[in-house]
Amino acid sequence: MHFDIAEGMALPQRIFPPEKICMDWQQRQRPGPGLLNLGNTCYINVILQCLTYTPPLANYLLSHKHSQSCQQQGFCMMCTMEAHVRKVLCSSASTVLPGAVLRDLKSIGEEFEYGRQENAHEFLHCTLSAMHRACLSARHNLDVSSQETTIVHRIFQGFMKIRVTCSSCQAVVDYYKAFLDVSLDIRAASSLITVLENCMTSKQLDQKECFRCSKCKKKAAASKKVTVHRAPRVLTLCLERADQWTGTKISKFVEYPEYLDLRPYMSDTAGEPLLCSLYAIVVHSGDTCLEGHFFCYTKASNGLWYKMDDESVDNCDIHTVLGQQAYLLFYARAPGQHWPHALSLTGIPSCSSMEETVPSVESYEAAMVLSGVGDALGYRGGRWEYCTSGPQIHAELAQLGGLEAISLELPEWPVSDDTVLHLATAEGLATGLEGEPLLQELARRYVAAMGDMEGRKPGPSSMLGTSQLRPGEPEGYRIPFNPRGTGCGAAMRSLAIGLRYPHASELPTLIRVSIESGRMTHHHPTGYLGALAVALFGALGARGEPPERWGAELLRVLPLAWDYVEGTGVAVEDNAAAWPFFGEAWHRYLDSRGLLEGRGPPRVPPLPSPAERDTEYLGWALEGWPGRSGHDAPMVALEALLAAGGSWEELCGRAVLHGGDSDSTGTIAAGCWGLRAGLAAVPAGLHRHLEYRGRLRDAALRLHELAWGGRPPGAMGEPRYLQAECSFRPGAHTVRVTLTRSTLRVEVEAHGTADLWRGEFDAAFIEDLTRKTGNFKQFGIFCNMLESALTQSSDSVSLELLTYSDLETLHSRKVGAVTRPPPSTSSPLNSKRYLILVYSVEFDRIHYPLPLPYAGRPDLVALVRELQEQLAQLRARRLEETQHLRDALWQALEEKRAAEARHQREYRQLAAELTQAKSSEQKLHLRVKNLTAELASYRRGRQKSASPAPRPQEQRSASLESHRSSRGRPSPKSLSPAGSRQPRFDPTAFVRARQRRQKEAELRNQRRGVASGSTSPARSYKRSSSAESSRSWRLGGSSGSKTSERPEPAPCRDRRVTRTRRPLSTSSCNGPCMVPHPAVSHKLPVCRSGNKCSGKENRSKEPSAELAEIDARLQALQEYMDSLNTHL
């Protein structure tokens, strides 16, 4: 949106007044849970988390202001965000489903698709636009400027000023552009500061962008400069990670600060610094811009940083946050605008814990009593307070017999001015007053305490400051700036302030009360910041925070303290000039002890001797007097607490018995130690007879009641409502009580007549009333007593309802006076009622009467209206509960769908595994079946090995068929296991080959018989000898025969039986009895294959070797089958 204006902008109508925006958290919440990711919804989760932890927006949404007046039908983004923020920050759920946002995703932005990866920056822009539209839903006919006054634009909208200067005539034209976020080009820069400087630098317009100058009346070259004309309350910066030319992701690191000063980039650069504080960032992880994952870091209301990655929420520190490749940066304007002289707080975590454990009453009592013990010990009637030698003090202590031999009794061991002024502070706080009345009460008590200073030696600043106080006058509790007011007098009396305001949400009150009470006597930053330090230590100790974190928390609070000091407008320049010293001194000390970040064990030097401690403390002192100043008195106390642990003797040796202002450091250290350790480890003689022990104890009890148990109801700004049915004369009544921080409202209604009596009382009236009875009660304690009477939780308090006449009778009976006549019927006193709070003590009954004027009977019209309002509230609550149940049901359905999808994936995976297992089982069964068949076939072949040989013709046919089949197709591979010998043994083939050889042998024998049917006996004898010789050759009978030297034949599958065609030779059948015969004229039919002699030798091979090989192979086969059965 562009609009051309000359100077400034017209004031629009105000939809939401800017003065109602609160930039700081109004209430401290513990970090909320993570958000469920239902599939590519991380971009939604990070934006919702960043908006939830935007302080001004969260404060507005938690106030329910929009939903109470919303009239929009259907989807409303503001109502959706209000419900979401309340669910995240106010519920105890472990995770939250943003169901309403996902359900109406199309209403937020038409371009978004559920389940698809989207851009977080685009979703942020659409969400803010949807919230803005929701704020305008009930308003019509508004101009553009008025439409920009919604709560969304009040928080996020700023204005850019674009100034175009003509290069020819130097004419200037200004344009203003509204923005909700700023996109920055990071390609040419490595830090956010450099990017902003480049953006705000004047640039020459290109020729394509040349504008027409209204003064020159022609197109001319010009320059353009962009500045921030009006900064938003929340500045959102987008570091463009997508290269606009290549589309690739820019993954380089761009440095960004925790605190950003916008003043150098404003149109008016001469103003005061405009500081913004980083509170959230969004990070994109992934190699490309089109896919990846979003997560964020947010700063919760407790001041701690958390990494929020969908459902997970993890604590982290600022160093981790500042080291990310950020995509979106969220900066919020600091409430105080600027912090002059403040130290950099980068890396200092806050220890404002959300989970606060309630300390015991005994710990409060120990804190107050031991503060007096430390004071009396360190003072010793002025002898040890003004002693500069720690060894001398320890020598005197040894002469007294040590700490256990000392009894702190008057007159030798009085308390100093420290305890007297500390009591004045504690008893002033115990009144329960707040604000201006409390400060006036403290000033009055400080002035009164100076009358009890005989022999206590108060400091010069305390005496000067109290003499300048004017209690009762407007701002009479303030005195002029004192350049010499650097002492520890304000610090040593401020522990009670921390005990009164221990809660993290009460930090602003603690800052105000401690600074104002400190400035009543020590109007110098070094002096009154010591009061802030001790008060803060007391609050942290009451909450259970370890001392290792106290110093870091002090540095975190110092900028807030400056905001308050500057806001008061009292001696701002003098305070600003003297401000840096305190923070710098504490920064050096914490750095030397390794406690700047408030983590890890402290590096405390041993310092075993008193002289070494004096030397160490002297290096911290302002004027050569350790413990005298406001900065080093709490420093010595903290050092002693870190070194002593649970040892009372060590604490006294370091903080109470040293050279210098030992009573002030002793008051602070002993009080803080007692708050943590109690009285058990302290010798009884040190506190049994302590001066003002009773007053210290009573003040501790009252402070504990106000802070933890007896705090006025509604002290956090929320009223409490009580109602009870009571039986008063003459019948039943309903008592309704409304309690706030400083007021009490009581209503009593009679059941039978509907008569109503009503009264409202402030804290001053109640305390004055109790003071008149002789038994004073603070307002908070009185309210607790009234609550106990209504709930009947205590037997010592009860309620009565009396008329004026009854009250007069009771009074006359108590004092023994004559009863006065009752008032007339028409008198207002006769219609008035008195609610009596009766407090029963051991020997008396105290009556606290609350007058209740008659309010008449209720108006029927008003009752009907009230009933209608209550019904409307019930309906609204029912609708809200119904919506909550629907959201819960939708969340449960989504979880069910997700679980079903997961189960289906697991089922399909298991089914595939089962199918694979069945297939493997079938293959194994088939292999076993084949192996079993082969084994059976082999066994049958061995049994038939002795059968008659086949006929020659059949053998030849079988041989030819086998030969043809072997040439036509390859023989099937055996399933037998592969061993070390190749090829594999095939039992079936072996049996068949043996059968073929037997048949061929039978055929040859038959043919020989036919051919030699008519030969002579000699020929028969000769043939018989040849056959016998051949048989003996096959059996391998001769050791020197050629068959014994013949190598073992190859397996039968690869062996071929061949015969050579040659004439029959007598040399082949010579024997010892053979006679040579003439050659015959005919030839025997022979096989047409190979050498005949070789075939004979193959056929006549002895079967024993083959059988041995077969047995070996069968044994291997059996072992394989056994192992297979084992696996199956």
What is the residue type of 515? Answer: I
Least trusted range by pLDDT, from 319-333, 604-618, 813-827: 813-827
Q: Is 844 exposed, middle or buried, given 0-12, 13-18 or 19+ CB atoms closer than 10 A?
A: exposed
Segment among 397-406, 533-542, 741-750, 1019-1028 with least mean pLDDT: 1019-1028
pLDDT digits (tens, 9 = 90+) for 832-849: 888 998 887 545 678 889
pLDDT of residue 792: 80
Q: What token pair was written down for 270?
A: 């001469």
Give the tens place of pLDDT for each residue, 942-963: 766 545 555 544 445 444 444 4
Q: How far apart are CA 404 and CA 397, in angstroms?
A: 10
Query: What DSSP assignment string belongs to 658-700?
Result: SSSSHHHHHHHHHHHHHHHH-STTS-GGGTTT-TTHHHHHHHH
Other CB atoms within 10 Å distance of the CB of residue 223: 13
Average pLDDT of the residues in 133-154: 80
Taking the model in full, what pTM does it have? Answer: 0.42
Answer yes or no: are the C-beta atoms of 476 and 437 closer than 8 Å: no
Sign of the alpha-carbon torsion through 566, 572, 575, 578:
positive
Which residues, 6 or more positions from 789, have their beta carbon under 8 angstroms from its beta carbon? 797, 798, 799, 837, 838
Q: Provide the angle, in degrees to the nearest 10, between the axes of the packed helices 435-449 and 507-519.
A: 40
Highest mean pLDDT among 463-467, 873-877, 967-971, 1090-1094: 463-467
The answer to whether the CB of 415 falls within 8 A of the CB of 372 is yes
More confident residue, 764 or 700: 700
Q: What DSSP element (H or E) covers 797?
A: strand 797-803
d(CA 679, CA 648): 10
More confident residue, 779 or 1049: 779
CA 915/CA 141 separation, integer angstroms:
71
Residue type, 872: A
Residue whose C-alpha is closest to residue 174's, from 320, 313, 8: 8
- Taking the C-alpha atoms of residue 34 and residue 307, their distance in angstroms, rounded to an integer, is 10
Q: What is the pLDDT of residues 237-246, one digit of tens each?
A: 999 988 776 7
Whether residue 1056 has pLDDT greater than 70: no
Q: What pLDDT, on the 0 to 100 scale, is given for residue 847? A: 85
Residue ranges of the domains in the chain? 362-709, 720-858, 949-965+987-1008, 1090-1128
Q: What percent of the chain lies above the pLDDT cut of 70?
A: 78
Looking at the DSSP bridge assignments, the partners of residue 228 are: 160, 266
Instruction: Indicate the residue type of 965.
Output: S
What is the pLDDT, as a whole number, of residue 275?
87
Residue with the bigger pLDDT between 149 and 719: it is 149
Distance CA 955, CA 951 (A): 6
Q: What is the per-residue pLDDT across 363-386, written as a single tens digit (0 to 9) for each?
A: 999 999 999 999 999 998 888 887
Mean pLDDT of the chain: 79
Please say whether the beta carbons of 32 and 52 come within 8 A: yes
Winning range, highest mean pLDDT, from 365-369, 968-972, 1058-1062? 365-369
Annotated binding site: 416-418, 661, 663-664
Alpha helices in 16-119, H assignment, sequence order: 42-52, 55-62, 65-69, 77-90, 99-103, 105-108
- Give the 3-state secondary structure of residue 172: strand
| 694 in Cβ contact with 711 (< 8 Å) | no
Name the phi and psi angles at 46, rounded to 5.
-70, -40
Strands (E), 149-268: 158-166, 172-179, 182-185, 203-204, 211-213, 218-220, 222-230, 234-240, 259-261
Min mean pLDDT across 501-515, 731-745, 753-767, 967-981 is at: 967-981
Name residues whose C-beta falls within 8 Å of residue 477's C-beta, 6 or more positions apart in sequence: 439, 440, 442, 443, 469, 471, 516, 520
Query: What whole-number distance in Å separates Cα of residue 794 and Cα of residue 776?
Result: 19
pLDDT at position 336 is: 45
Q: What is the pLDDT of residues 418-458, one digit of tens each?
A: 999 999 999 999 988 888 889 999 999 999 999 988 888 89
pLDDT digits (tens, 9 = 90+) for 21-48: 888 887 766 788 999 998 889 999 999 9
Measured CA to CA, the distance from residue 276 to residue 332 in angstroms comes to 5
pLDDT tens digits, 164-218: 888 878 888 888 888 999 999 988 888 999 999 988 888 887 655 566 777 777 7
Note the pLDDT of residue 1102.
52
Please enumerate, by residue number, every residue annotated as part of a binding site for Mg(2+): 416-418, 661, 663-664
Q: What's the pLDDT band for 1080 if we cut at 50, 70, 90?
A: very low
Joined together, the tokens standing for residue 303 give 């001041």
- In this structure, of 47-56, 146-155, 692-701, the range with the lowest mean pLDDT score is 146-155
* CA gap 622, 630 in Å, rounded: 9
- The structure tokens listed for 1086 are 């022979």
Q: What is the largest CA-CA distance in the chain?
A: 185
Q: Which fold has domain 362-709?
A: ADP-ribosylglycohydrolase fold (1.10.4080)
Lowest-confidence pick of 264-268, 627-631, 991-995: 991-995
* Domain covering 720-858 in this structure, CATH number: 2.170.210.10
Residues found in the chain: 1128
Name residue 236's beta-bridge partners.
Answer: 330
257: pLDDT strictly greater than 80 = yes
Q: Tell whether omega for the bond before 977 is within 30 degrees of 0, i.e. cis.
A: no
* Cα 380 to Cα 412: distance, rounded to the nearest angstrom: 7
Indicate the DSSP class of residue 405.
G
Among 7, 49, 605, smallest CA distance to 310 is for: 49
More confident residue, 861 or 877: 877
pLDDT at position 824: 52
- DSSP symbols for 997-1016: HHHHHHHHHHHHHHHTTT--
Instruction: Report the candidate in 43, 36, 155, 179 with the shortest Cα–Cα distance to residue 96.
Output: 36
- Nearest-angstrom CA–CA distance, 299 and 281: 9
CB-based contact 724:791 (threshold 8 Å): yes
What pLDDT is recorded for position 4? 39
Q: What is the pLDDT of residue 1024?
A: 42
Distance in angstroms (rounded) separating the CA atoms of residues 126 and 1006: 107
Question: pLDDT digits over 85-102, tens only?
Answer: 999 988 778 889 998 899
Instruction: Taking residues 471-500, report their average pLDDT.
Output: 93
In terms of DSSP bridges, do strands 259-261 and 275-285 run parallel, antiparallel, or are they unpaired? antiparallel
Lowest mean pLDDT among 121-125, 282-286, 443-447, 870-874: 870-874
Placement of tokens 């089962």 in the chain = 914
- Whether pLDDT at 883 is above 70: yes
